Structures are given as structure tokens and as C-alpha cells.
Amino acid sequence: MAKEINILYISLSGNTRDFVRRLTDYYQDLGVVVNSINVREKPDRQKLTAPFVTILPAFLNGGNGRDNGYSEILSPALGHYLAYEGNYHRCYGIIGSGNRNFNRQFALTAKQYAKRFGFPYLTDFELRGSDNDITRIGQLLLERSQAFEEEQA
């Protein structure tokens, strides 16, 4: 059976969706099948039975990310999806994204989710991600999903 990579993510202005589309093309050339859910487009929650990775861009309400500006806006639907039916138990890690202009707040929401749900913070990329991010993260997810599946077996 072909190797599968399952991705749960949210994309509001399209950057993360573009990243997932390019990652899917990259995997297609390797014979890896991608199943992805953009919570923005498919808000109806379902129980996720196979291991998956989460990708979350940061949307925070200003501040410096240290003393203030911690409040997540626009993306809480993803947190509800992870909590639904214990889905987060099958999440082997989260990838953060954002804009480095936000300095300390760069990709902060994904770091908050890693603490909240207890899964690893794997890495991050900026905006749509570079071609190097696609290959780097593509390889990382193959390794991490394999390790998680072996742990569960």
C-alpha cells in the first residue's frame, strides 16, 4: 500500500493552503499519497483515525508575544477539531507558520498548541514557505510519521 501523509491545517488567506498544495505535488513524485483537511473549508469535525500532522499559521491580536498579545484569533476552530473525540492523540506533531515581522510572536500559536495538547513542535516556515522548506519538511514528515507508527504498533 502507498505511504500516506495526513495533514490537518487551517488557512485563512491561502498561504498555508498553497504550501500544502506544493507539498502534495512533491509527495506525488515520490509515490506518497496526501490526505489533507483545511478546517476553514471543511469545518464539520470528524474523528481522525490515522496519524496526522497539524499545520497552523499564527493569528494573534497584537502585542509582543511575551507579556501580551497571546490571544489566538481566527484559528480556534483548529483547536476544537484537535480536541474533538481526542483527535490530538493521533497527531505526531505540529508545524508553525507566520510572518517573521511579528518577531517574538512568529509562529507562536503552534508553540502554544504543542504545550496545550502535548505533541511535539516539529518546525516552522514563513508565509508560503520556500522550495527548500517543501523538501525539508517533506522529508521530516516521512521520518516522523514512520517513527510514530512504529511507536504505536
Residue with Cβ nearer ligand FMN (32 or 108): 108
Task: In whole angstroms, give the CA distance from residue 16 to residue 116.
Answer: 22
Task: Quote the radius of gyration of the chain (alpha carbons, Å).
Answer: 15
Nearer to ligand FMN, 79 or 98 (CB): 98
Q: How many CA atoms lie within 13 A of 118 on its CB side?
A: 6
The residue sitting closest to ligand FMN, measured at its beta carbon, is 98
- Residue with grid cell 497584537, as numbered in its chain: 62
CB of 2 to ligand FMN, least distance (A): 27
State the minimum distance, in angstroms, from the CB of residue 146 to ligand FMN: 27
Q: Which residues contribute to the site for ligand FMN (CB under 6 A)?
A: 11-17, 57-60, 97-99, 102, 105-108, 127
Q: Is 145 exposed, middle or buried (0-12, 13-18, 19+ CB in 10 A)?
A: buried
CB-nearer residue toward ligand FMN: 66 or 89 = 66
**Closest distance of CB 95 from ligand FMN, Å:** 12
* Least gap, CB of 119 to ligand FMN (angstroms): 20
The residue whose grid cell reads 499559521 is: 57
